[in-house]
């Protein structure tokens, strides 16, 4: 008896379109890059703290080129792969890596347990996987604003996400010998809902849900804008937060 296929929460077509649009937007001089910059800095700190000295590294996701260049300066052989170019829900086309780092690459995977299993299989014995993801509890102001926009009939507009407790369970299920899941908070300051949405779009962070929500009405969008800036400071700005979940797994 075979296991049932995972539910289709995310659309591969919408994910590819989102990535293509972000690639174009990133060519603009003022394109937002705060997610990749923050994740790369965090991963470099973790690699240094853990005193990892892998011979070969695979990097996936946002900021992967920047992280790859930093590691290459230490003489490490780096392979950078765009998540859209390979199917993360199938076995990796390459392997024997001492370290695999994924940066917001696993956030919109339907079969996340399977993807973690495939990453573990691509590690060399004793290898480590570091996976940074947008965690549960992220974008609370945006979430509240969208609920205000929809009124009594809220639609699913933001992605479901994994918390630290569930993340540790996923690592154990994937067969990692040791597992650690922890989270940290990225704080952002905004004066308009539209600016936040534009920044999310430029970094490939907008919705890829298979069941897309209906577009907001003009009235709903006005309600969302007002709700987003509720309790703004004297400068007319509010703090929005992202929880960054990091999964660390070791292979025997």
3-state secondary structure 195-234: HHHHHHHHCCCCCCECCCCCCCCHHHHHHHHHHHCCCCCC
N residues, the chain? 252
pLDDT one-digit tens code per residue, 139-193: 999 999 999 999 888 999 999 999 999 999 999 999 999 999 999 999 999 999 9
Sorted by where each begins, the domain ranges of the chain are 12-138+160-188+240-250
The pLDDT value given to residue 3: 62
CATH architecture of structural domain 12-138+160-188+240-250: 3-Layer(aba) Sandwich (3.40)
Neighbouring residues of 85: CB distance < 8 A, sequence distance ≥ 6: none
> Does the global pTM surpass 0.85?
yes
Residue ranges for the chain with pLDDT beneath 70 = 1-3
């Amino acid at each position: 008896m075979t296991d049932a296929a995972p539910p289709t929460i995310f659309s591969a077509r919408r994910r590819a379109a989102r990535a293509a649009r972000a690639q174009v937007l990133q060519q603009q001089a003022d394109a937002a890059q705060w997610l990749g910059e923050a994740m790369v800095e965090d991963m470099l700190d973790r690699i240094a703290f853990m005193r990892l000295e892998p011979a070969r590294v695979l990097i996936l996701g946002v900021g992967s080129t920047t992280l790859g260049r930093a590691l290459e300066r230490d003489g490490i052989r780096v392979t950078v792969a765009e998540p859209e170019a390979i199917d993360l829900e199938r076995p990796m086309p390459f392997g024997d890596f001492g370290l695999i780092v994924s940066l917001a690459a696993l956030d919109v995977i339907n079969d996340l347990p399977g993807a973690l299993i495939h990453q573990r299989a691509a590690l060399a014995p004793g290898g480590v996987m570091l996976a940074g993801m947008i965690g549960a509890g992220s974008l609370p102001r945006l979430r509240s604003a969208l609920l205000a926009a929809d009124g009594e009939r809220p639609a699913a507009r933001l992605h479901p996400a994994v918390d630290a407790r569930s993340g540790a369970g996923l690592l154990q299920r994937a067969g990692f010998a040791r597992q650690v899941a922890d989270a940290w908070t990225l704080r952002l300051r905004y004066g308009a809902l539209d600016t936040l949405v534009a920044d999310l779009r430029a970094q490939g962070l907008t919705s890829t849900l298979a069941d897309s929500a209906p577009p907001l009405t003009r009235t709903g969008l006005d309600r969302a804008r007002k709700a987003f800036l509720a309790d703004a400071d004297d400068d007319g700005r509010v703090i929005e937060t992202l929880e960054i979940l990091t999964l660390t797994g070791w292979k025997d």
